[in-house]
């Protein structure tokens, strides 16, 4: 797939990398599989960059529009199944 990540140019390089790493986890869920604990860890780093719930929703919406991947559902599944491997195909 060819799309761009929703990145704020005011973020530092490290912050951008944390946001991209989080979205990589979402992609891994849909394209193969991912450990739920990894999703949660990357989500926590994402929240350090984007603490606002409203901004999070907007970024998730932008990413879903571009990729078709629902970040919110993946985070909720990861929270409900800690210590497991999760995937879209299961």
C-alpha to C-alpha distance for 59 and 50, rounded to whole angstroms: 9
How high is the pLDDT of residue 9? Answer: 95
Question: What residue segments make up the domains of the chain, in order of their start?
Answer: 33-90
pTM: 0.95
Q: Is 68 left (phi over 0), alpha (psi -120 to 50) or beta?
A: left
How high is the pLDDT of residue 1? Answer: 61
How high is the pLDDT of residue 75? Answer: 98
C-alpha to C-alpha distance for 20 and 5, rounded to whole angstroms: 7
How high is the pLDDT of residue 74? Answer: 98
Residues 6 or more apart whose CB falls under 8 angstroms from that of 27 comprise 67, 69
Mean pLDDT by 10 residues, the chain (90 residues): 88 98 98 98 98 98 97 98 92
């Amino acid at each position: 797939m060819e799309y761009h990540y929703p990145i704020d140019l005011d973020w530092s390089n490290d912050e951008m990398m944390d946001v991209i790493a989080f979205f990589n986890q979402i992609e891994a869920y849909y394209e193969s599989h991912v450990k739920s604990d990894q999703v949660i860890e990357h989500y926590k780093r994402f929240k350090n960059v984007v603490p606002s719930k409203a901004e999070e929703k907007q970024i998730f919406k932008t990413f879903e529009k571009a990729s078709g991947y629902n970040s919110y559902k993946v985070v909720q599944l990861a929270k409900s199944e800690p210590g497991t491997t999760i995937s879209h195909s299961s």
